[in-house]
């Protein structure tokens, strides 16, 4: 029996080696090429030992099968035997799989689209400053992709693993919350592979900027859109169609005659392709913008597009083309239909269609926009009209009951009725644009229409997405990041504006000013630019775009998140010279213990955010979420006074109890921006910090604490001071007095901290020594 | 909350265990007084003032003082609490204190054992409800209570949805008065 098992393992390994072209000796193949569910389980379990899952059930029940509904309160189990914790973990895994699938399927679509255009042998060339083109694919699969065709290997692996993970969610299977968490971490890791495939394909296939930091500053905000021209709105994430629209306009010399603007990540993708395209704003502005009727044609692709786009568009006379099979809205599929006929029916009868051929969709969009634009009125509501409409509001507060951001828009509307627009202008900054208030209103007050008067016509600047961090930049910052003299990398990602749209810009400004590296992506990258300082500058104009202390950079859309985590891997590989090929545990262990990076998904709402964050966690990067994200149901929290902070000192080969919770949590919810500011600094502390680096990090931790929480020192400061040189000069006296008062004792910093060697693993301790 | 439960509830269940609504400050005070090791968790919504200018935080501190309840400061509330002359007994964020509370062996903020009654006051409704859900499911060893002006279904005891802030204010003042009365 044992012999059969060995043969099976050998056969599997041979297959993997064939797929990843193991014979090409760019690095030796590590212990876990193309890992399957059990292969990194021990690493996960080690993480989960310190960062235990914290469940906040969103519902008391399980409703998945026909034996239910099952009440899971008070220790009860469902008909299949599942308990409440395992059900939460199962739900989180499902969310991560949705997110991971969305990115991977996006990657699959765009890859085939580009292979059709360029052929599978199109070389992957990310410019002269990027040699490690695919840190995730290299680390997870052990494959060095050289062509677009090679990226298929990565996606086939991701799709296969997704199927196994989804299988485990079926009723009557996995019975352990911890094993579901390990699977969720696996899904998160796969997500970063899928995202990397998608963005590499896009960069190569669309010739997006790469190996450059100083990408163009593009216009943002509806004030930037010239509504006297035909306006095409592209919405979603997949740029297959929006880029072809740009091509069509260029080929027909129409680029200056038609406005192309975008919502959500397609906006970011389109502005990587053309600096004439405009960004309307994040997802939270989608419904508002659609209802404003400025777009003559709306083209949807996939993910985070509104499911009521056809209905909303019809109300204001905008034409709709659904461009992806993920969202066809029940529309007639006109992919094979004659182009002239589609245009005629859209113009004359205002019909909406699904067109899955990007080239046809692009031509139709431009022609329809040019024909219908002159017939349409695009008028902004006046304040006088708003006052009249607002008079219907009785401030019954029904709207507040359904608001995901928990505020009473009725209060603002009643002020409008009195001619006061101050409150509604503030509320507009909190509005996430779901529209539930309006449908709840018993008096049918057109809240969104009234909000037009609150919406600023101001325009802002957003830096176009630049793709991967350059290897040359990593060489410059590797040492200061791991030593701690650059105090940290703050990655602000994902959906944008919970609880206040200004929060992200404030966070960026605070940390860039303090010489952290601030990296942005997705809708967060947009809202970072939607606030100006007293000199009228956005953070993109105020700070340099380099991956260096004090830099503020936008890597691109959601799928570009892979470049942020990829940069952490590159630090281990390029700076520390640790081999990455099929060597996930070593990379993750390095990042956890030595790279002071923290993710902030402040406005996270989607399943994609769940999988991106969980992928960060498996790689050892902690993530801070906004307060509403407690509805994701699961966090990874330590209890700093009681948890296991032991590591192996790889140089001395001994296990040391460091006492210090660094990083303290892996997935954490903060209630307020103020608290988040403090936590961001704290979660950048790593065991590897030199005394100089630690002193710099503690300086920021203490000063942010004093600024946002109040007088005094952080209550856990003693846990992070190892010896006197760790204490920042500015606070020396105060900290020393406090430490003396509580009986603090100095302890030796660990020379080379690692978790390897503290849990069962195939990886030897030697592997972490560079 | 009373609700009619259908005979075959397996088919229609929509939520199974909701907070007991208490509108009487005397009843609330009695529950607090009965607790052996209560804890008051203070959230950042208490940094706002009522129309009469009184800081909500002052009500929380009065309640703690009247009943001798230790305080946990969450988010950025510590600064203001200290400014008002009170030293919080511990500082955690909401998810951290909930994480500690769900461990029956936790020694509590006074190191005298985990708490038997935890009162939440001033935490955002979404985060508050989720934290209460954690305790409802994973902390059968303690009871939870809310003092905010809205109903929190995952708590053991909750106030109703007050339509007017003045009614809520009146409740809080009466609660404080009853706590001061002692047994």
Residue A726 pLDDT > 70, yes or no? yes
CB contact under 8 Å between A628 and B140, yes or no, is no
Give the Cα-Cα-Cα angle A640, A645, A646 (nearest 5 degrees).
Answer: 165
Q: ipTM of this complex > 0.90? A: yes
Three-state DSSP at A63 gives coil
Residue with more model confidence, A402 or B5: A402
| Run of H or E residues at A61 | strand A61-62
A460-754 has the same fold as A217-375 = yes
A674: nearest CB among B43, B76, B100: B76
Q: Which pLDDT band holds residue B3 (cuts at 50, 70, 90)?
A: low
Residue A373 pLDDT > 60, yes or no? yes
Looking at beta carbons, which residues of chain B come within 8 Å of A637?
95-96, 99
Provide CB contacts within 8 A for A231, sequence distance 6+: A225, A258, A259, A261, A294, A295, A296, A297, A369, A373
- Alpha helices in A293-357, H assignment, sequence order: 309-316, 339-348
Residue B11 lies in a domain: no
Query: Hey, what's the torsion of the CAs at A385, A389, A394, A397, to 10 degrees?
Result: -100
A712: nearest CB among B82, B94, B125: B82
Centre a 10 Å sphere on the Cβ of residue A121 and count the other Cβ atoms it contains.
11
CB contact under 8 Å between B126 and A672, yes or no, is no
A57: nearest CB among B12, B124, B133: B133
In chain B, the number of structural domains is 1
Instruction: Assign residue B101 the CATH number of its domain.
Output: 3.40.50.1220
Q: Which residue of A has its CA nearest to B13?
A: A69
pLDDT of residue B182: 65
pLDDT of residue A9: 79
Looking at beta carbons, which residues of chain A come within 8 Å of B96?
637, 639
Tell me the residue ranges of DSSP E strands in A358-451: none
Residue A436 pLDDT > 70, yes or no? yes
Residue B159 lies in a domain: yes
Q: Please give the Cα distance from A161 to A187 (Å, whole number).
A: 8
Question: Which residues form the domain of B37?
Answer: 21-180
Termini Cα distance of chain B: 28
The structural domains of chain A, with segments of one domain joined by +, span 20-206, 217-375, 387-451, 460-754
Residue B5 lies in a domain: no
Q: How far is CA B154 from the centre of its chain?
A: 11
In A205-224, the residues whose Cβ lies within 8 Å of chain B are: none
- Specify whether the CB–CB gap between A55 and A88 falls below 8 A: yes
CB contact under 8 Å between B44 and A74, yes or no, is no
CATH topology of domain A20-206: Substrate Binding Domain Of Dnak; Chain:A; Domain 2 (1.20.1270)
**Nearest chain A Cα distance for residue B65, angstroms:** 22
Q: Please give the Cα distance from A282 to A295 (Å, whole number).
A: 16
Residue with more model confidence, A497 or A374: A374
Give the closest residue to A461 by CA, choosing from A556, A542, A538. A538
CB contact under 8 Å between B140 and A75, yes or no, is yes
Q: Please give the Cα distance from A537 to A513 (Å, whole number).
A: 14
pLDDT of residue A379: 85
CB contact under 8 Å between B98 and A73, yes or no, is no
**Nearest chain B Cα distance for residue A439, angstroms:** 21
Residue with more model confidence, A24 or A2: A24
pLDDT in tens, A159-210: 999 999 999 999 999 999 999 999 999 999 999 999 999 999 999 999 999 9
Q: Please name the CATH architecture into which domain A217-375 falls.
A: 3-Layer(aba) Sandwich (3.40)
- Specify whether the CB–CB gap between A46 and A759 falls below 8 A: yes
Tell me the residue ranges of DSSP E strands in chain B: 20-21, 38-42, 71-73, 90-91, 117-121, 143-146, 157-158
pLDDT in tens, A697-725: 999 999 999 999 987 999 999 999 999 99
- Specify whether the CB–CB gap between B76 and A674 falls below 8 A: yes
Q: Which pLDDT band holds residue B131 (cuts at 50, 70, 90)?
A: very high
Mean pLDDT of A131-154: 98
| β-pair partners for A220 | A279, A460
Q: Please give the Cα distance from B95 to B24 (Å, whole number).
A: 29
pLDDT of residue B183: 58
Residue B87 lies in a domain: yes
Looking at beta carbons, which residues of chain B come within 8 Å of A668?
93, 95
At the top level of CATH, the class of A460-754 is alpha beta
A674: nearest CB among B16, B75, B123: B75
Quote the mean pLDDT of chain A.
Answer: 95
pLDDT in tens, A636-656: 999 998 889 999 999 999 999
A671: nearest CB among B99, B103, B124: B124
pLDDT in tens, A524-542: 999 999 999 999 999 999 9
CB-based contact (8 Å) between B93 and chain A?
yes
pLDDT of residue A494: 85
Looking at beta carbons, which residues of chain B come within 8 Å of A709?
76, 78-79
Residue B3 lies in a domain: no
């Amino acid at each position: 029996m044992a012999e059969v098992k060995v043969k099976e393992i050998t056969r599997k390994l041979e297959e993997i080696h064939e797929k990843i072209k193991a014979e090409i000796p760019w690095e030796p193949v590590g212990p876990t090429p193309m890992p399957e569910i059990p292969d990194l389980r021990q690493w996960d379990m080690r993480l989960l030992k310190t960062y235990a899952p914290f469940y906040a059930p969103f519902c008391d029940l399980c409703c998945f099968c026909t034996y239910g509904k099952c009440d899971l309160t008070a220790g009860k189990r469902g008909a299949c035997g599942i308990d409440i914790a395992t059900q939460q973990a199962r739900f989180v895994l499902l969310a991560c799989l949705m997110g991971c699938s969305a990115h991977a399927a996006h990657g699959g679509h765009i890859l085939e689209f580009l292979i059709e255009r360029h052929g599978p042998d199109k070389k992957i060339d990310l410019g002269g400053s990027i040699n490690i083109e695919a840190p995730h694919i290299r680390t997870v699969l052990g494959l060095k992709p050289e062509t677009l065709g090679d990226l298929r290997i990565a996606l086939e692996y991701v799709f296969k693993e997704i199927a196994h993970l989804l299988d485990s969610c079926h009723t009557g299977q996995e019975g352990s919350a911890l094993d579901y968490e390990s699977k969720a971490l696996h899904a998160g890791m796969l997500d970063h592979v899928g995202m990397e495939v998608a963005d590499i394909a896009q960069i190569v296939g669309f010739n997006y900027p790469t190996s450059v930091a100083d990408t163009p500053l593009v216009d943002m905000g509806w004030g930037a859109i010239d509504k006297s021209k035909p306006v095409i709105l592209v919405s979603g994430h997949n740029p297959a169609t929006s880029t072809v629209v740009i091509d069509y306009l260029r080929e027909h010399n129409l680029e200056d005659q038609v406005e192309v603007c975008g919502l959500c990540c397609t906006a970011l993708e389109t502005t990587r392709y053309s600096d004439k395209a405009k960004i309307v704003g994040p997802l939270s502005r989608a419904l508002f913008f659609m209802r404003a009727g400025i777009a003559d044609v709306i083209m949807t692709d996939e993910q985070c597009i509104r499911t009521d786009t056809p209905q909303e568009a019809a109300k204001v006379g905008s034409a709709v083309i659904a461009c992806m099979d993920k969202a066809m809205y029940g529309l007639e599929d006109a992919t094979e239909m004659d182009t002239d006929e589609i245009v005629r029916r859209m113009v004359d009868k205002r019909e909406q269609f699904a067109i899955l051929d990007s080239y046809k969709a692009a031509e139709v969009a431009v022609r329809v926009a040019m024909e219908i634009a002159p017939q349409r009125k695009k008028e902004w509501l006046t304040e006088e009209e708003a006052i009249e409409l607002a008079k219907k509001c009785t401030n019954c507060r029904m709207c507040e009951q359904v608001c995901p951001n928990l505020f009473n828009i009725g209060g603002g509307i009643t002020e409008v009725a009195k001619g006061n627009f101050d409150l509604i202008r503030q509320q507009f900054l909190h509005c996430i644009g779901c529209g539930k208030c309006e449908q709840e209103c018993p008096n049918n007050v057109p809240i969104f229409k009234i909000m037009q008067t609150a919406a600023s016509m101001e325009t802002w600047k957003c830096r176009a997405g630049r793709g991967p961090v350059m290897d040359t930049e990593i060489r410059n910052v590797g040492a200061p990041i791991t030593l701690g003299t650059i105090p940290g990398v703050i990655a602000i990602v994902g959906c944008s504006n919970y609880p206040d749209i200004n929060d992200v810009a404030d966070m960026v400004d605070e940390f860039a000013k303090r010489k952290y590296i601030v990296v942005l992506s997705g809708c967060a990258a947009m809202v970072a630019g939607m606030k100006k300082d007293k000199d009228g500058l956005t953070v993109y104009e105020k700070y340099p775009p380099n991956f260096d202390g004090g830099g503020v950079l936008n890597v691109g859309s959601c799928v570009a998140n892979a470049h942020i985590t990829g940069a952490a891997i590159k630090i281990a590989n390029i700076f520390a010279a640790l081999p990455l090929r099929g060597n996930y545990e070593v990379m993750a262990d390095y990042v956890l213990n030595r790279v002071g990076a923290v993710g902030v998904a402040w406005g996270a709402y989607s399943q994609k955010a769940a999988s991106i964050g969980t992928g960060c966690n498996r790689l050892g990067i902690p993530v801070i979420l906004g307060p509403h994200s407690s509805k994701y149901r699961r966090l990874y929290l330590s209890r700093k006074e009681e948890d296991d902070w032991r590591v192996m000192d790889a140089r001395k080969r001994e296990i040391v109890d460091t006492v210090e919770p660094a990083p303290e949590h892996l997935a954490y919810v903060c209630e307020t921006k103020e608290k988040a500011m403090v936590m961001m600094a704290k979660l950048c502390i790593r065991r590897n910090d030199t005394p100089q680096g630690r002193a710099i990090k503690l300086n920021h931790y203490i000063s942010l604490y004093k600024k946002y929480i109040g007088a005094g020192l952080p209550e856990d400061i003693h846990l992070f001071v190892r010896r006197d040189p760790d204490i920042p000069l500015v606070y020396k006296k105060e900290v020393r007095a406090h430490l003396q008062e509580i009986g603090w004792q100095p302890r030796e910093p660990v020379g080379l901290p690692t978790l390897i060697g503290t849990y069962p693993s195939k990886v030897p301790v030697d592997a972490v020594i560079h | 909350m009373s609700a009619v439960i259908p005979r075959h509830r397996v088919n229609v269940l929509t939520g199974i265990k909701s907070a007991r609504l208490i509108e009487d400050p005397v009843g609330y005070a009695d529950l607090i007084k009965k607790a052996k090791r209560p804890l008051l968790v203070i959230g950042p919504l208490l940094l706002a003032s009522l129309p009469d200018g009184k800081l909500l935080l002052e009500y929380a501190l009065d309640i703690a003082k009247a009943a001798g309840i230790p305080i946990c400061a969450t988010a950025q509330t510590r600064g203001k609490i200290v400014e008002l002359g009170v030293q919080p007994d511990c500082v955690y964020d909401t998810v951290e204190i909930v994480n500690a509370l769900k461990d029956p062996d936790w020694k509590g903020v006074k190191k005298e054992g985990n708490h038997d009654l935890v009162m939440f006051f001033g935490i955002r409704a979404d985060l508050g409800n989720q934290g209460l859900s954690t305790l409802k499911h994973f902390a059968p060893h303690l009871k939870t209570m809310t003092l905010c002006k809205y109903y929190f279904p995952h708590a053991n005891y909750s106030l109703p949805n007050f339509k007017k802030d003045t009614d809520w204010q009146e409740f809080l003042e009466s609660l404080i008065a009853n706590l001061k009365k002692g047994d």
